[in-house]
Structures are given as C-alpha cells and as structure tokens.
Amino acid sequence: MHRHDQPHHPSAAPSPLSSPGSRAHSLDLVAGILALNFTNTSSGRGGPEHLEHLKAAGDVLAWVHHAGGLTDAEMAEAARLAPPGSAAAVELFQAARALREAVYDIALAFAEQRLPPAAALAALSAIHADCLSTAGLVPRPSGGFAWGWDLGRNLVHAVLGPIALSAAGLLLGMDLSRVKQCGGQHCGWLFFDQTKNKRRRWCEMSVCGNRAKQRRLRRRRGAAA
Ligand SMILES: [Zn+2]
C-alpha cells in the first residue's frame, strides 16, 4: 500500500525542477479529467496531514509535463523562460495556484451537490478568457483542430491554457453529478466517476479504499475484544 506522499512509481525519478518534498512530477493521475487531476496536487486540505505539491513554478512545470501537457523540449524551454526566483516564475506560480483553487472550489461544490461559489466561477472565467486570448487553432496530427499556444508568446497561457480549457469543458458539457470527492481520511482528492452505476468512492482503491477497510476491521476487532 502506498500513500499520496510517498513515491511508488519506481520509474519516476525526481524532476530537477521540483521543490524538495514535492511529488508534482509523479502524483497519481486518477481523476479522469486533466483539471481535476490538477486539483489533486494538494491533499488533506485544512487538516493536520495537508500536503502541498505545488510550492514553486518548477513544480507547476513538472506536474504539467508529468500530466502530458508539455513535451520534454517544451518543459526545458519553459524552465529557461521562468528560472527560479524570476518574475516570470512568480507569475506562473501565482496563476497556477489561482486556477487550481478556482477549479477545486467549483468541483468540490459539485461533489457536495451545491452551487459553486460565484467568485470561483468568475476566476475560472477570467483565466480561461485570458488563456484563449493568445491561443490559436492548430491542426492535430490525428485530425481535427485544437487550441494551441506558443510558450515564447505567453508562458502562463501556454502552460495553464489546457487546464483552463479542461475545467470549462467539464462545466459546459459533462455530467456534473459524476464529480466526486474521495471518502478517504486526509485525502480530499477529486475525480470524475465514470463507473456505470456511479458508485466509485475512492481516489484509488489501493490507497484510500484499503485504508478505510483496515480502519473498519480494527474497529470491529476492538469491539469484539
Ligand atoms: Zn483518496
């Protein structure tokens, strides 16, 4: 069994860009939707076991690369454009955290079957519009077209644009009753439940599902003793 804060992909070497202790480059991508996976770069929010994997711009780049949003060459180019401590790095980090928190607040509301906060919707709308302002329609190798960005034109838009599009796509066209929050203790990860009967409860059965099962067993044994 592994925890979200412990490495368990033997192949995932620490990214040279990540902050010490951050697993942005190797976190499990179990949410089914890019924007929800992005919210899972933090876990146990508000509790004693809170883990934050986005502590600097390098973590943002490492995660986006890990999630398939940047090629190796693009990540190297982005790291060159936003070296640690630079104004560009600060801007990227702040924009990434703002986008992530907006998506989290909105998706959590869906998971709790209430209306999302207006401030979070306004923030996502603004970031989405900003990102699209420098995007262009480009042909995809597999056919059709997609929004594309130029890292050199606007780094923040190029790195965060796909995540903003993913979040907007969720709101505009998907079954929001499938947005759920993991029931695991100190977890809080969000995911899109694609099971037929909509009864998925855990981010990962092997992490939170098993831990809950063990807690139930311990309680039952305690009661029997
Ligand atoms: Zn979980």
Structural domains in the chain? Answer: 34-224 (1.10.3300.10)
Ligand 1 ion: Cβ-proximal residues, 5 Å cutoff: 182, 184, 187, 189, 203, 208
Whole-prediction pTM value? 0.90
Gap from CA of 205 to ligand 1 centroid (Å): 8
Cα separation, 10 vs 8, in Å, equals 6
pLDDT tens series, the chain, 225 aa? 344 544 444 445 667 788 888 899 999 999 999 999 999 999 999 999 999 999 999 999 999 999 999 999 999 999 999 999 999 999 999 999 999 999 999 999 999 999 999 999 999 999 999 999 999 999 999 999 999 999 999 999 999 999 999 999 999 999 999 999 999 999 999 999 999 999 999 999 988 988 888 888 888 887 776
- Cα of 175 vs centre of ligand 1, distance in Å, is 21
User: How far is the centre of ligand 1, averaged over its atoms, from the C-alpha of 168 (Å)?
Assistant: 24
Helices 118-132, 155-173: axis angle to 10 degrees equals: 130
Cα(211) to ligand 1 centroid in Å equals 9
Report pLDDT for 14.
Answer: 63
Distance (Å, whole) CA 57 – CA 79: 9
Give the residue from 20, 29, 34, 46 showing the smallest Cα distance to 159. 34
Tell me how far the alpha carbon of residue 185 lies from the centroid of ligand 1, in angstroms.
7
Residue carrying structure tokens 């992909």: 9
Residue 17 and residue 54 in contact, taking contact as beta carbons nearer than 8 Å? no
128 C-alpha to center of ligand 1: Å?
28
Say how many Å lie between the CA of residue 131 and the centre of ligand 1. Answer: 31
d(CA 147, CA 71): 16
pLDDT for the residue 9: 45
pLDDT of residue 23: 93
What does the pLDDT read at residue 12? 55
Separation between Cα atoms, residue 124 and residue 54, nearest integer Å: 19
**Per-residue buried b or exposed e for 91-124, using 16+ beta carbons within 10 Å of the residue's own CB:** ebbebbbebbbbbbbbbbbbbeeeebeeebbebb
